[in-house]
């Protein structure tokens, strides 16, 4: 019984981590007034770059940082379209979701002799586990807390983003741009610059989220590695009412759903409760739909979220 609980809790932490990184990115962008539906594409390019650079450099941390930069560069194009050219932010985000996976597959074929999968990282080239060996093997605490560094970084970033948004001058200006950009502009705040920074930060964090999958949870990039996690992170951000701490709890809920799926898919459980794999794979997305249907009408986004700010308009 305790082994099963420990397994689900440990898996929850592991699979909620990429969602936390990405949902925090969405939270920053949308608090600044820019809708970012391109998180899935930014996660995908981050997952590829993280695995590819990690393999080539032989260092997972270099790959992790490169993944964040790649996500930030892709986000820069979203900012260019949304902030500078006042394009429809939803359309721009959808375009990013096509560009990210397409670019990742193209680069993978170019760099790895036509393969869409990057070479697997050896165990010593993955993101390390800081608490490895601290607890007895297979104990409850070992199963739950012996996680990759990315897990602890993600939870630290929840606090860091909360502090940034609610306890710094930049955070106040960022939220002002998302609530009333004209008033912020009147006070001398460069709304466009703040939104550019926010969108690029969202891409940086989404790239980290992708790398948390490709250099920690698994050991390489493959085409189906990022399959809906970006959209689940958006749902978590909405469920969390555009607040870092709320998004974190929502991500843990979705991570728990994934942990339950993996637990129910184990051979020893399947021999007792045979559930088709197709049904199991649907559970996280069904949960996403239920939460969106139930809570999306009750969650209030920043007032100017998704509305391009035109300084010249009345």
Neighbouring CB atoms inside 10 A of 84's CB total: 12
Per mean pLDDT, which range of 81-85, 143-147, 259-263 is the poorest? 259-263
Q: Mean per-residue pLDDT for 62-88?
A: 97
pLDDT mean over 143-170: 97
**CB-side neighbour CA atoms (13 Å) of 237:** 28
Residue 287 reports pLDDT greater than 90: no
The three-point CA angle 88-227-161 to 5° equals 65
Contact assessment for residue 111 and residue 91, using Cβ atoms and an 8 Å cutoff:
no
Q: How far apart are CA 131 and CA 147, in angstroms?
A: 7
Each residue's pLDDT tens digit, 236-251: 999 999 999 999 999 9
pLDDT of 41: 98
CA–CA separation, 132 and 19 (whole Å): 23
What's the token pair of residue 25?
A: 């990115």
pLDDT tens digits, 85-106: 999 999 999 999 999 999 999 9
Which has more pLDDT, 292 or 276? 276
- How do residues 197-224 score in pLDDT, each as one tens digit? 999 999 999 999 999 999 999 999 999 9
Report the Cα 175 to chain-centroid distance in Å.
21
DSSP code for 118: P
Q: What is the pLDDT of residue 286?
A: 87
Task: Name which of 36-40, 297-301, 303-307 the model is least confident about.
Answer: 297-301
pLDDT for the residue 299 = 72
Separation of alpha carbons 55 and 120, rounded Å: 8
Give the pLDDT of residue 313.
62
Distance CA(292)–CA(294), nearest Å, equals 5
Q: What average pLDDT does range 24-49 have in this prediction?
A: 98
| Rg of the Cα atoms in the chain | 20
pLDDT in tens, 184-198: 999 999 999 999 999
Query: Rounded CA gap, 290 and 277, in Å?
Result: 20
Question: Which of these ranges, 39-43, 78-82, 98-102, 300-304, has the smallest mean pLDDT?
Answer: 300-304
Share of the chain above pLDDT 70, in %: 98
Query: CA separation (Å) from 249 to 9, 203, 284?
Result: 14, 21, 15
Phi, psi of 233, deg, nearest 5:
-65, -40
Residues 205 and 21: beta-carbon distance below 8 Å: yes
Q: Where are the domains of the chain?
A: 2-227
pLDDT per residue as tens digits for the range 117-128? 999 999 888 999
Distance between CA 56 and CA 172 in Å, rounded? Answer: 41
Phi, psi at residue 120, to the nearest 5°? -70, 145
- 167-202 burial, b at 16+ Cβ within 10 Å, e below that, comes to eeeebebbbbbbbbbeebbeeebebbebbbbbbbbb
Give the pLDDT band (50/70/90) at residue 296: low
Determine the pLDDT at residue 3.
85
Task: State the pLDDT at residue 297.
Answer: 63
> Could you give the 3-state DSSP secondary structure of residue 83?
helix
pLDDT at 312: 72
Cα gap 189→130, rounded to integer Å: 42
Composition of the chain by helix, strand, coil, percent to 5? 70, 0, 30
φ and ψ at residue 27, rounded to 5 degrees: -60, -45
Closest CA to 100 of 53, 43, 55, 52: 43
Q: What is the mean pLDDT of residues 100-113?
A: 97
Task: Give the pLDDT of residue 271.
Answer: 75
Give the predicted TM-score (pTM) of the model. 0.95
Mean per-residue pLDDT over the chain, rounded: 93
C-alpha angle 111-120-104 in degrees, rounded to nearest 5:
40
The residue behind tokens 């949870």 is 217
CB 57 within 8 A of CB 235: no
Among residues 76, 53, 78, the alpha carbon closest in space to that of 63 is found at: 53
């Amino acid at each position: 019984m305790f082994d099963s609980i420990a397994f689900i809790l440990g898996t929850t932490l592991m699979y909620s981590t990429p969602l936390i990184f990405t949902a925090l990115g969405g939270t920053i962008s949308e608090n600044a007034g820019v809708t970012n539906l391109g998180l899935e594409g930014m996660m995908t390019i981050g997952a590829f770059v993280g695995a590819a650079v990690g393999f080539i450099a032989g260092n997972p941390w270099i790959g992790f940082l490169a993944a964040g930069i790649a996500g930030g560069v892709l986000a820069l194009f979203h900012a260019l379209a949304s902030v500078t050219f006042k394009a429809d932010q939803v359309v721009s985000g959808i375009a990013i979701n096509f560009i990210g996976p397409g670019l990742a597959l193209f680069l993978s074929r170019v760099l790895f002799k036509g393969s869409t999968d990057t070479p697997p990282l050896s165990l010593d080239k993955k993101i390390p586990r800081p608490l490895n060996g601290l607890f007895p093997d297979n104990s409850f605490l070992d199963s739950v807390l012996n996680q990759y560094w990315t897990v602890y970084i993600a939870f630290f970033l929840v606090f860091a983003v909360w502090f940034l948004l609610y306890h710094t001058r930049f955070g106040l200006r960022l939220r002002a741009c998302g609530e009333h950009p004209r008033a912020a502009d009147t006070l001398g705040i460069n709304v466009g610059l703040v939104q550019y920074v926010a969108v690029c930060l969202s891409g940086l964090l989404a790239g980290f989220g992708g790398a948390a999958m490709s250099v920690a949870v698994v050991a390489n990039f493959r085409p189906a590695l990022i399959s809906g996690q970006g959209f689940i992170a958006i749902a978590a951000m909405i469920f969390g009412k555009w607040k870092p701490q709320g998004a974190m709890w929502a991500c843990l809920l979705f991570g728990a759903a994934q942990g339950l799926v993996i637990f129910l898919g184990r051979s020893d459980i399947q021999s007792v409760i045979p559930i088709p794999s197709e049904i199991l794979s649907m559970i996280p997305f069904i949960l996403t739909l239920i939460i969106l249907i139930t809570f999306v009408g009750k969650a209030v986004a920043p007032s100017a979220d998704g509305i391009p700010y035109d300084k010249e308009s009345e």
